[in-house]
Every structure is written in structure tokens, then in C-alpha cells.
Amino acid sequence: MSAPAALHPPAAVLEPRPTQVAMEGDEMVLSMGPQHPSTHGVLRIVLKTDGEVVKEAIPHLGYLHRCFEKHAENLTYGQVIPFTDRMDYLASMNQNFSFVVAVERLMGIQPSEREEYIRVIMAELNRIASHLVSFGTYGLDIGAVTPFLYAFRERELILDIFEAASGARLLYNYMRIGGVMRDLTPQMLDKVREFVEYFEPKIDEYNELLSFNRIFIERTASVGVLSAEQAIAYGVTGPNLRGSGVQFDIRRGDPYSIYDRFEFDIPVGQGLHGTVGDCWDRYYVRILEMRESVKILRQALAQIPAGELARRPKTVKPPKGEIYSRTESPRGELGFYVISDGTTNPLRVKARSPCFTAMSVFDELARGAMISDVIAIIGSIDIVLGEIDR
Amino acid sequence: MDQIVPAAHGLIAWLAIHVWGALGLLNQLPGELFALLVMVVVGALMLVFLSLLPLFFVWLERKLSARIQNRLGPMEVGGFHGWLQTVADTVKLLLKEDLVPAGADQRLFKLAPMLAVMASLAAFVVLPFSPWLIIADLNVGLLYVVGVGSIGVVGILMAGWSSNNKYSLLGAMRSAAQIISYEIPILLSLLPVVMLAGSLSTRTIVEAQAGFKWFAFANPFMPLAFLIFFIASLAELNRTPFDIPEAESELVAGFHTEYSGLRWSFFFMAEYANMFVSAAIATTVFLGGWYGPFAAGPLWFLLKCFALIVLMMWLRWTLPRLRVDQLMAMCWKYLVPASLVCAFGAGTWYLVINHLRGGTAGTFWFWS
């Protein structure tokens, strides 16, 4: 500003780009991502900080957008299912489940009893696997490296079961309109029983190692407090909502499939170590949910009937109409709004992503927090970019 | 063959006579020159030892962390549990491109790792491995070690500033604040030791612990002083739970983000050498140095250091990390008052017992 006019560079060069240092007083603009060890996926967050304290946190999404909804308009209903896998790739079974339930409701059909039980078993196993990843990576973000490896050790057993059932370790494409791809053999069911017995005591191990660790509590308690009113106003669902004390779970509140036959609790955050709705609550709700999933698995394994799988409809042609159908994925309310025009291809498929709404409340949570707390908050809302961007 | 063997015998005999004679001449060297010679020889030995030390500790860390995490660690390189892994990694680092980021301050960037290493190597001078295996027994040994350790902070700040990178700068600032703050509990927790031994010289401090009178149990306040020293030295070393400056998940790699190849390995080596120095100081002042139940000597010193280092590594892989303000709060609100209490308490204990014994001078252990 003190140089003579003739030496001023042209205006285009003078304009500050948001990722460069824009000095307004002590303000610093920091770009976290899109490649960053702690944002769970390709997420870019532009932080405006005053020293260590965050004044504004703007997430930039879209790095993983793959035009899922546009693709769905040109595919048959059966062909859409693998695309749903890839939305939230950590909870593939649940994504499949949600979509096939939506189409089945539109068509007015139901799979056989055995298939319903198989679906529930797969969905709950995947819930455990997804929560294990969330638990492990959260510890990693906070600095505890070891729980991550223990979580993945358990998850390997689940992935082995999935590999035996569907052939794949991560993206299963297992459920079909009107049923599932393949029956489970008695050996596979035994493996699930073995896993359930092996896994339950491990949850206590995780609690000892991480959940009740003094340093972990200091890092996460009373950080990123999301009040119940805020959560409902923003449309947050799933463990994030339950962490704020609201006891709402679609498996109980708006039951689908055969969930009304099982007895399980809905854990909510109670502010045991800080404020209700802080990061620790959201994290602990997930740990408790793993226990509940184990309960459901036990009941499903005991009740599963023998029998053949029903014949699935050969061509899927739902009658003209539209439906919004929702299920409880490990990250919240996963909804599909399907409009059918009577042909084999849907007219429109809209996916309601729970992580997207969770991300929308991120700016409010991050204001006034320190940069280390931003990491803790992102980990506690457990996002998967594949689902946010679709 | 018939001619070589007697010739060889003759050569060895000649060497033996003359070298032995030369060694005998050493007795006649003036005192200072002899001391200098010892210093040079021991220093050379130490330097060799120091170069191999980080190699061993890196391998140990990888194996230990692997076992804690339910996996194996290095197994291939060199055959037996990958003991040559670090050597292979060092060779790889040597072959990397020497990258200095554009816009970085060239001279500072290149100087920073050297300062960091220099600070940690300089501290080895007063470590008493055994009564004679010490490079120089300065009579201000303890003060010297703490003073020289502070030079490392300058190296870190230089690294962070000269990298021309926001993340590095943040990391360097955090690190500098952390290290400077934690030097106070270290100094204060060493105060009772100096009171008990009556000297700052490391050799004297160890000799005062002869006969199992380890200072760690010399009075009820000393275990606390030991604990404070251990925790504060973890913070000095930037080890978890105090590794906020190198927090991978937050700042990529903190102040050494922009360093690669040999320059980065200097920082790495400095960290492990510093770990050894901290463990060695703790052993010297609290755990009785080179004394052991039998055959007192450098082996016991190394064993005790080793135990402390294993403990440091164990903590790193078990605990999460503290946030930077919690870190500072821990230092100023908890460790500093606690170490003041220790220093006060130890001094009071000494005075009271001394009075009860009728004012007999001399240091003592507990009440004997």
C-alpha cells in the first residue's frame, strides 16, 4: 500500500484467495482438507481462526459426488442397489436395506420370514462394523492409536462373515427387491453365533481403554454440545440425535421389516461426564448401540426359521406412485424418496442422507471451539463423505 | 608358510613391547593431558554409541507398538525380527531428494535440524555411565544438562518459521510454549535431589546413592518428585500424551512437516537421543545410576534407562493426547505447585531430621 501507483500489480492478483493467509487482525484462514488425516473422507473445511479459537467453519462438500440420483433414473430398480452400496460404504447392508424396503413398500410385497431375519442379522452386523470403525478412527483422531487396531481386529471377523455370504468385504450388493441374494448356510449362522459370543466382552475392553480414559474424557466432554432443540431443528437423526438426549430410533418409532419383534433399548446421552449432547455422549451412544445390536443378533439367531427363500419377482415394475421410506442406518435416518412411473426404471430416486444433515450443524458446533476440538467434533458426528455427496 | 609364521610372531612381539611401552609412558603424561586423552577416547566411544542408540530405539519402538497393537512389527529385514529395518530406512532417507520448499528461509531451514541434534548430543557429556565412563564430570553437571536442552527449542522454532507453512508455524509455536513451560517442573523436581546430594555434579549425585539409598525413596516427597520429573520430561520430548506439536491427525506433522530425507531423520534422531538423555538423567538422580545388587557398572545404568524408555513407549501407544490448553494447564496449575511442594517438603524433612539427630552434618537417606 505504500508503493507508488505505477508499481501496483493488477487488481486480479491483489484479490485474496480464501485459502491463502488473509490477515485481518489476528485472523487466520486455514484450509483443512480435502486431503487430511482427520476429515473422514474428502472433506474440505475452511476455518477462520483467531489464534487457536475458531470463528467460523465452512465445510466445502462435493469432492465425492458421483451423480447417484441421476444414474438411478437410467437404471432398473435392481441395478440401483449396488449404487446404494457406495453411498455409505461402511454400512452397505443398511443402505441396501433402506432402498429395497422403499421399493417393496411401493410394490406392496414382502420377502419370506427367513429372508427378513437374514436381513436383520446382516443389518445389525453391519451396524456393529460401522460403529467399530467410528470408534477406532475417533480414538485415532484424539491420539490413541491402539483402539483402532483392536476395533479392526473385531471387524475382520464380521467382514469374513460378509465375504462368505455375499462374496465381498465392503460393498455387498446383498439385498434384492423381495429378498436377499443368497441363503445363509448353517455354518455361516454358527460363525455369527461365535462372533457374538466373542465380541460382547470386547466392548468392556474398549470402555476401559478409551471411553473412561481421563484424557479422552477431557478432550471430548462438554465439547461440541448439541442441544436437543438444535438437533431437532436441524433434522439431525441417529446417534447424534440420541446423544443429545432425544430417544428416537426408527426401528422403534416407525418400525420396518421385523424390528417390532425384538426387544432392545434405545440408549441416549445423559451427560455422564459433561453436558448432555457433547462429543462424549455421541461417542458413548454408539458404544452402547453395539451392545444393543448384539442383543438383537442373539434374538434373531434364536428365532430364525428354517426354510426356503421366496421367489423374487422377475421384473420389478412398481405401480405408478411415490413413496418416502426411511430406515435407521448406523448414522441416522436414511430415507429414499422413490417416484415410479410404472416402468422398470424409477422416475426419480432421492436419497436423504443422515450425514448431510449432521454436517449442516457443524458450523454452529465448531464456533468458539479450538482447532483440536474441531477434530473431536468431526469425529463425533461420524460422517462418511460418500453418503454426504452421493 | 615356514617363513611367515615366525615373522608374524616377531611382529606381534615387537608391537606388544612398543605399544605396551607407549601405554606405560602415559603414566608420565602431565595430568591435564591424560584427562584430555580420556575425554577424547570416551567421547569417541560415546559418539559411536550415540549413533547406534536411535537405531536401536526406533526398532524397539516399532516392535513394542506392534505387540501392543496385536501385530508383529518388522520381521523381514536382516532376518531376526527385522533388526536391520532402521538401517534400511536410514539408507532410504539418505537417498531422498533434498527438498527445500520455495519461499522457505534457506539458511534457517538447513540450520534447524542441526541445532536440534546438537542440543541432544551436547547433553551426553555429563551422563555418568560408570565412575570413569563419563566424558566430563562438570561440577555444574545437572544445570548444564537442563541448560543445553533448551537449545533444542530454538531449533524447533527455526524449523517452524523457516518452512513457510501455516501448519508448521502453528506446530512450532505450540511446541516452543510446551517445552519452555515444562522446563520449570523439571528444574523444581531436581531441586530436592541437589539438596540431598549437596552437589550438581552427576557423578557425585550417583555416588551419594551408594548402598541402595536411591534418591527416589529418600523421603516421602521424592517419589512425587520422580513422577513429576518423568511426566515433565515426556512433555519436553513431545511424546504422547503431550505430542500436540506433532499431532498427525491435526497438523499433519507439525514443525517438521516440510522436512524430508536426512533433515527429517535428524529431528527423529534428536527425539530418540533426547529420550535417552531424559531417561539417563532420571536414572542418575533418582534411581541410583550405575549401582546394582552385584557388579555395579554401566550395565545397570543402561538397564534402568532401558526400563524407563520402555515405559515411555508404552505410554505413547496407550494414551490419547492432551489438547494444548489442557497441556499448559497441567503444567502451570498442577505440576509446578506440586514440584514446589516437593522441594519445600524435602527441604523441611531434611531440616527436621537433621535437628532430631542433633545437627550432625552430611546427607542421609530417609532417616539413616
B84 and B156 housed in the same domain = no
Question: Is A219's CB within 8 Å of B325's CB?
Answer: no
In this complex, which of B170, B320, B324 lies closest to A139 when CB atoms are compared?
B320
B122 and B260 housed in the same domain = yes
Mean pLDDT, range A314-320, rounded to an integer: 89
Task: Return the pLDDT at B313.
Answer: 93
Residue from B246, B319, B326, B334 whose CB has the most chain A CBs within 10 Å, to mutate? B319
Q: Say if residue A25's pLDDT is above 70.
A: no
Report, in angstroms and rounded to the nearest whole number, the Rg of chain B calculated over CA atoms.
24
Look at residues B35, B68, B95 and tell me which one is the last residue of a structural domain.
Answer: B95
Question: Is A375's CB within 8 Å of B240's CB?
Answer: no
Whether B122 maps to a domain, the answer reads: yes
Which has more pLDDT, A287 or B364?
A287
**Residue A19 to residues A15, B271, B317: CA-CA distances in angstroms?**
12, 33, 34
Instruction: Cell numbers for B206, please give them.
Output: 550417583
Task: Return the pLDDT at A10.
Answer: 56
Question: Is B320's CB within 8 Å of A372's CB?
Answer: no
B132 and B77 housed in the same domain = no
In this complex, which of B248, B318, B323 lies closest to A370 when CB atoms are compared?
B323
Q: Say if residue B252's pLDDT is above 60.
A: no
Task: Return the pLDDT at A1.
Answer: 47
Instruction: Cell numbers for A379, please give them.
Output: 469425529
Whether B275 maps to a domain, the answer reads: yes
Question: Is A373's CB within 8 Å of B71's CB?
Answer: no
Task: Return the pLDDT at A346.
Answer: 94
Question: Is B320's CB within 8 Å of A216's CB?
Answer: yes
Task: Return the pLDDT at B25.
Answer: 65
Question: Is B321's CB within 8 Å of A142's CB?
Answer: yes
* A215 vs B contacts (CB less than 8 Å): 241, 319-322
The percent of residues above 70 in pLDDT, for chain A, comes to 92
Q: Which residues contact A106 (CB under 8 A, 6 or more apart)?
A: A318, A319, A321, A322, A323, A325, A338, A340
Task: Return the pLDDT at A22.
Answer: 47
B255 and B142 housed in the same domain = yes
CA torsion B179→B184→B185→B188, rounded to 10°? 150
Look at residues B52, B68, B95 and tell me which one is the last residue of a structural domain.
Answer: B95
The identity of residue A290, as a single letter, is M
Q: Say if residue A103's pLDDT is above 50.
A: yes
* A146 vs B contacts (CB less than 8 Å): 68-69, 317-318
Mean pLDDT, range B327-335, rounded to an integer: 92
Task: Return the pLDDT at B37.
Answer: 82
Mean pLDDT, range A261-288, rounded to an integer: 91
Question: Is A372's CB within 8 Å of B323's CB?
Answer: yes
pTM of the predicted model, to two decimals? 0.85
B340 and B232 housed in the same domain = yes
Closest-approach residue (CA) in chain A for B174: A52
Q: Say if residue B331's pLDDT is above 70.
A: yes
Nearest CA-CA distance, residue B308 and chain A, Å: 20
The domain total for chain B is 2
* A152 vs B contacts (CB less than 8 Å): none
Nearest CA-CA distance, residue A149 and chain B, Å: 6
Look at residues B62, B77, B95 and tell me which one is the last residue of a structural domain.
Answer: B95
B159 and B203 housed in the same domain = yes
Mean pLDDT, range A76-101, rounded to an integer: 93
Task: Return the pLDDT at A20.
Answer: 47
Dist. CA B219–CA B343, nearest whole Å: 11
Whether B367 maps to a domain, the answer reads: no
pLDDT in tens, A195-251: 999 999 999 999 988 999 999 999 899 889 999 999 999 999 999 999 999 999 999
B200 and B296 housed in the same domain = yes
Dihedral pair phi/psi, residue A179, rounded to 5°: 170, -150
The percent of residues above 70 in pLDDT, for chain B, comes to 91
The identity of residue A279, as a single letter, is C
Distance of CA A47 to the CA centre of its chain: 24
Instruction: Cell numbers for A9, please give them.
Output: 500489480
Question: Is B166's CB within 8 Å of A144's CB?
Answer: no
Residues on A contacting B at a C-beta cutoff of 8 Å:
21, 28, 30, 36-38, 52, 139-146, 149-150, 153, 209-210, 213, 215-216, 218-219, 370-373, 375
pLDDT in tens, A115-124: 999 999 999 9
Residue A99 pLDDT grade (very low, low, confident, very high; cuts 50, 70, 90): very high
Q: Say if residue B258's pLDDT is above 90.
A: no
The percent of residues above 90 in pLDDT, for chain A, comes to 64
B53 and B130 housed in the same domain = no
Mean pLDDT, range A61-76, rounded to an integer: 92
What is the number of other CB atoms lying within 10 angstroms of the CB of residue B48? 10
Question: Is B249's CB within 8 Å of A373's CB?
Answer: no
In this complex, which of A30, A209, A370 lies closest to B325 when CB atoms are compared?
A370
B114 and B233 housed in the same domain = yes
Whether B364 maps to a domain, the answer reads: no
Q: Is B223 left (phi over 0), alpha (psi -120 to 50) or beta?
A: alpha
Dist. CA B283–CA A369, nearest whole Å: 41
B120 and B34 housed in the same domain = no
Question: Is B317's CB within 8 Å of A215's CB?
Answer: no
Sheet with A53-60, side-by-side order of all strands: A27-32, A44-50, A53-60
Question: Is B321's CB within 8 Å of A139's CB?
Answer: no
Nearest CA-CA distance, residue A145 and chain B, Å: 6
Mean pLDDT, range B113-137, rounded to an integer: 86
Q: Which residues contact A302 (CB under 8 A, 6 or more apart)?
A: none
Mean pLDDT, range B61-82, rounded to an integer: 88
Question: Is B249's CB within 8 Å of A28's CB?
Answer: no
Whether B100 maps to a domain, the answer reads: no
Question: What is the average pLDDT value for chain A, to the nearest integer?
Answer: 88
B258 and B132 housed in the same domain = yes
Task: Return the pLDDT at B264.
Answer: 84
Instruction: Cell numbers for B362, please give them.
Output: 552430611
Mean pLDDT, range B137-147, rounded to an integer: 89
B109 and B218 housed in the same domain = yes
Which has more pLDDT, A106 or A307?
A106
Q: Say if residue A68's pLDDT is above 60.
A: yes
Whether B368 maps to a domain, the answer reads: no
List the beta bridge partners of residue A325.
A336
For A226-250, b/e burial (b = at least 16 CB within 10 A) is: bebeebeebbbbbbbbbbbbbebbb
Domains and their CATH numbers in chain A: 68-389 (1.10.645.10)
Residue B359 pLDDT grade (very low, low, confident, very high; cuts 50, 70, 90): low
Contact B171, B160 (CB under 8 A): yes
**Which residues constitute the domain of residue B69?**
1-95
In this complex, which of B170, B244, B319 lies closest to A144 when CB atoms are compared?
B319
The percent of residues above 90 in pLDDT, for chain B, comes to 24
pLDDT in tens, B191-200: 999 988 888 9
* B322 vs A contacts (CB less than 8 Å): 215, 218-219
Question: Is B65's CB within 8 Å of A145's CB?
Answer: yes
Whether B365 maps to a domain, the answer reads: no
